[in-house]
Amino acid sequence: MVVEVSYIKYGSESVRQVIKRSKIDNVNSNGNAPKVIILIHGGAWRDVNNTCNDFDKFVEKWDNDGQNLLVYSIDYKVSSEQGGKFPQVVIEVLKALEVINNDINNNLNIEKDNYNVTLVGHSVGCTFITQIMEYEKFYTLNKLSIIEHINSLVFLEGIYDMKLLHEEYPDYDFFVIEEFENVESAIKECNNIGIDEKVIRYTTMDSIVIVHSHNDELLSLKQPQRMVEWLKNKCNVTNDKLNVHYGDFGLHNEVYENISDVAQLTTS
């Protein structure tokens, strides 16, 4: 069992503009192309303690399980580095995805266009996934090449609806304002969930996994329940594509280290 770790810079403005690549190449893979997983950490856009290393225990678990995976974990500038100029950080993550796409096609001996991608997010990492699903709003001059390869989504302890977040947790407005300048802009601009508009792209997914812990001390079940409701009623995602898991998976920041239950849900 071998994990080959390397780092890819995708910008020069911050040390956080880096992608951690972990290639898990097990002998039982029979030469098959590895499945690609892209991880996006949380931290309310502001916490410097959340980095591309957040999911290291998942990578170790996947390796020990004998999986054959190509894993990319994206780091990004925090709010204080961005100056609160949304959607700067979304564009930053989209550019990181383009770097990942080029890395897959050019350097890793995977047949061009012959791969699928699973996106995994934690907390605001889930918010990023919702924005990737409607990337055209933010990335107006370019097509996101990797989008056609994304076939499954995994949401862990996600923030989805800014309006609901404001109503339930007004004390959280401070970090929303740091990113969006004001709550009203966050509700209108963050994603289509807050304004209750559909996004067709979700129906093209093979699988959408939503995980939320009963022990989460920062977010109640209202956020994932709202996401499920929106996916079903507004986006017409069918039940056979939705896998919803509510359980005792640990505190908010323990979920992305939960190798006994959650790590397996991300690759199943």
Residue 164, domain member (yes or no)? no
Residue 211, domain member (yes or no)? yes
Domain that holds residue 229: 2-80+87-159+200-265
Residue 165, domain member (yes or no)? no
Tally of CA atoms within 13 A in the half-sphere of 199 that contains its CB:
21
Q: pLDDT digit string (tens) for 56-82?
A: 999 999 999 989 899 999 999 988 887
Residue 139, domain member (yes or no)? yes
- What per-residue confidence (pLDDT) applies to 84? 62
On whether the pTM is more than 0.85, the answer is yes
Residue 52, domain member (yes or no)? yes
Residue 166, domain member (yes or no)? no
Confidence of residue 255 (pLDDT cuts 50, 70, 90): very high
120/108 Cα distance (integer angstroms): 21
Q: Sign of the C-alpha dihedral, residues 127, 208, 40, 108?
A: negative
Looking at the 3D structure of the chain, how many domains does it have? 1
Residue 167, domain member (yes or no)? no
In angstroms, how far is the first alpha carbon of the chain from the final one? Answer: 20
Alpha helices in 38-194 (DSSP H): 56-64, 79-82, 88-107, 124-132, 162-168, 173-180, 183-189
Confidence of residue 142 (pLDDT cuts 50, 70, 90): confident
Residue 68, domain member (yes or no)? yes
Q: pLDDT digit string (tens) for 99-115?
A: 999 999 876 666 666 78
Task: Please report, for the domain that includes residue 23, its CATH number.
Answer: 3.40.50.1820
